[in-house]
Chains A and B, each alone.
Chain A
Amino acid sequence: MSRNSLKPVFIAFAKEAFRNRLEIFFTLFYPMIFLLLFGFFFGGSESYQKVSVGLYQTGPYDISAVIEESGAWNLRLYDGETDIGEAVKNGDILLGMIFNGEKITYLHQEGNLEQQSTIEMARASISAAVEKEINNARSFIVVENIPETAGRIHATDADYTMSGVIAISLLSAGMFSVISVFGRYRKRGVLDRFKITPLRPFTFVLGSTLTRFLVSLVSIVLILVVSRLLFRTTFQIDWLPFLVSILSSTLGMMALGLFLTLLFRNPETADAAASILMVIVVFFAGIYFPLSFLPDYLRVISIFLPVKYVAELIRHSLGIEFVSTSYFVITNLVLFLSGVVLLYFTGKRYLSAS
């Protein structure tokens, strides 16, 4: 074998990766499960859909016009408290209101995180509008809400969710793959066999890395296609930063996997640690819900999670959110260099003939 036979090494790794059903599942289809689940849960809708609210009123005031005037609610009128209660229970309406001229009793279902903020907003705005109407109060101060775009496009909830899924996919592809290569291969003695060949450690590592990059790219393309078809995402890919981000992020996530492999000699333990890290990342990296939902003492954890920065790079490349050029360059450099350095030292450690 030639010392510089990158092509056959790359082809061998690529074939092995795409033939390994477990790896195919975790790299290509596992992120898809998250995309579908979280897309339906948190993806929202690109167009605002009026929320249905119900009203049963007695007393001297008719507040139905006040509620309808805002244009934000789809109002249904009910003839009794029982009817409106049943409607809320069955999900026909999100919020029920019983108004007796002095008091509004709001009825809603609990536990619905997705709708909770809508319910709170409806309660506050309807209460204020009714009190304003009854007291003939005028608005001295009004708020003019001006939507801005953080990137090239007016992003939707689905765009944010999809970028989070891509970050998770890069983490999964990068981290678990090096645990497989440097953990399992080492345990099975495969690396020892490579040591006695003329193959340079650098060639082995590069072949493996290029395969990971290819697999990441395939996974991301799948995610982009599915999210465009199912959730009508509106991203605009800036290809150069996008490919640079994928490459550096893959290397950065490989660095994370290598760190675990060096820390835990047993590949099964490294695998378990990687799985634990995945769970922590999902909750603390600000990917699926805003970091502002976390208490302060938990929010600080996100600073130490590389996936948070990967998600920011991906959002920048897809036009969802801008980051400054210096931030983009520095973040990519840090991810790239950490991957390269750790790959170099790990390759030297496990692949150099003693």
Chain B
Amino acid sequence: MSRMWNFTSGLFKSEIREFQVMFWSFIFPLILYFILTSVFGSLYGDDTQGISFRVGIVREESLSGLGMILDKVIEDISSENGPFVKKEYGSVDEALIDLKEGKQDIVLVIPEGTSAKIASAAVLQTGEVALRVHYISGKDSSSIASNVLSEIIDEVNLEIRRQSGGEYVDVVTEAKTVSAREEKPFDYREYIFPGVALMMILSVALFNSPIGLIQYRVSGVNKKLYTTPLKPLEYFAGHFAKLIFTMLISLTLLYLTAIFVYNVRGPILDIRFILTLLFSMVVTISFGLMIASFSKKLSTVTVLGQTLYQLMMFLGGLYFPVFHLPWGIRWLVYALPTTYLVELSRRVMGYQFAPVSLFWLILVPIIWTAFSTVIFVINFKKVMGYE
């Protein structure tokens, strides 16, 4: 037992002394969690301060009378709490140049005669005022900005009707998510936690494990180990324990960040959620051993590892739901074990994104584990370099 413990501790210390392992296993998951919550957290939260669009304003006339309602709207949307940052232009051409050069997301043109048309529309209850919004087709920020402005103008029209007197029925709206827990709003930081955790587990399983095995073989370390009393089972138990230890340390750091920095609690502390992460470790480690058994050289294992890592990360639904992708690629989503592992973790948290029952969420990863283990056992001698 102490022999195995010494071997495991030696393997672990040897591994974490490498900068690459320290960074990718321990530090990168925290950086990724920070990046994803910073970038996408604002899209889902109540605080929309993170997103702002740039609007160029061109006034072909100075607004007066009832037309000043537009001035008020523009001030509101470009205020501290508004979604826009405005810049006034003297001419449409000047504004369009900046739009095309990416300095503005949209250009709003208030045409000549707007004030008169608003007054006429209000008094005569006929006619309308057309504002022109120039946007860049195909550019996300531009299209979204133009849609946001259209929605704001819709609200302005309703407010004008509301203020004009008479009976007014306010339509109340409520949003409910069918995939999230009902009792609280969607928390992106909670949603992305299993994705980042699984990314970390995947990187250790697909890189640290097979690269370590192949490196020991090609460098001749295995041959030296065969001359020692260490048994093959002890070797693998040590290797497996080292990987689990690495993953647990990284997971602990991730948990501490989520709990103390982002105040994520509840579901991630549920014992069932933790068990799904342990299950994921076993499945992905076996997958990594299978990769090692297909690779003769370090370069092969690097190529296989990188390719599978990217595919399993993105197509596995770790960061974005993937069941709307075209069938040309969606079959791959159903084939990958990470799809089921991350959905299982999220299902335990109360979410449901995949049209897959709990039975398949457990069975498919078990099938992958069994298959990977069998492949590895068959190729065991080749992996270890036994002569």
A residues with a Cβ closer than 8 A to B are 21-22, 25-26, 29-30, 33-34, 36-37, 40-41, 85, 88-91, 96, 102-117, 121, 123-125, 127-132, 134-135, 137-151, 154-157, 159-160, 268-269, 271-272, 276, 279, 283, 289-296, 298, 312, 320-324
Distance, CA A312 to CA B141, complexed state (A): 16
B131 contacts the other chain (Cβ, under 8 Å)?
A: yes
B11 contacts the other chain (Cβ, under 8 Å)?
A: no
Q: Given known contacts A108-B175, A159-B138, is B146 in contact with A114 (CB within 8 Å)?
A: no
**How close is B77's CB to chain A, nearest CB, in angstroms?**
13
Tell me the number of A-to-B contacts counted with CB atoms below 8 Å. Answer: 271
Task: Give the residues in chain B near A29, CB-CB below 8 Å.
Answer: 307
Task: Give the residues in chain A near B306, CB-CB below 8 Å.
Answer: 25-26, 30
**How close is A227's CB to chain B, nearest CB, in angstroms?**
14
B131 interface neighbour in A33, A41, A144, Cβ under 8 Å: A144
Task: Give the residues in chain A near B325, CB-CB below 8 Å.
Answer: 40-41
Contact in complex: B96, A148 (CB < 8 Å): yes
Task: Give the residues in chain B near A290, CB-CB below 8 Å.
Answer: 139-141, 144
Interchain Cβ contacts under 8 Å between A and B, 12 examples: A33-B311, A40-B325, A104-B173, A110-B180, A111-B351, A132-B161, A140-B121, A140-B160, A147-B137, A148-B96, A150-B101, A292-B145
Task: Give the residues in chain B near A149, CB-CB below 8 Å.
Answer: 100, 136-137
Which residues from 299 to 319 on chain B have a C-beta closer than 8 Å to any C-beta of chain A?
Answer: 299-300, 302-303, 306-307, 310-311, 314-315
Q: Given known contacts A111-B353, A290-B140, is B100 in contact with A148 (CB within 8 Å)?
A: yes
**How close is A40's CB to chain B, nearest CB, in angstroms?**
5
Contact in complex: A160, B323 (CB < 8 Å): no
Contact in complex: A124, B138 (CB < 8 Å): no
Task: Give the residues in chain B near A115, CB-CB below 8 Å.
Answer: 324
Identity of the chain A residue whose Cβ is nearest the Cβ of B330 in the assembled complex: A40
Task: Give the residues in chain B near A116, CB-CB below 8 Å.
Answer: 43-44
Task: Give the residues in chain B near A320, CB-CB below 8 Å.
Answer: 138
A114 interface neighbour in B32, B174, B320, Cβ under 8 Å: B320
Residue from the set A26, A114, A145, A156 with the largest chain B CB neighbour count within 10 Å: A145
Q: Mark B180-193, 1 if CB is under 8 A from A, else 0.
A: 10000010100100
B178 contacts the other chain (Cβ, under 8 Å)?
A: yes
Which residues from 70 to 112 on chain B have a C-beta closer than 8 Å to any C-beta of chain A?
Answer: 70, 96, 99-102, 105
Task: Give the residues in chain A near B139, CB-CB below 8 Å.
Answer: 150, 155, 160, 290
A128 interface neighbour in B151, B191, B352, Cβ under 8 Å: B151
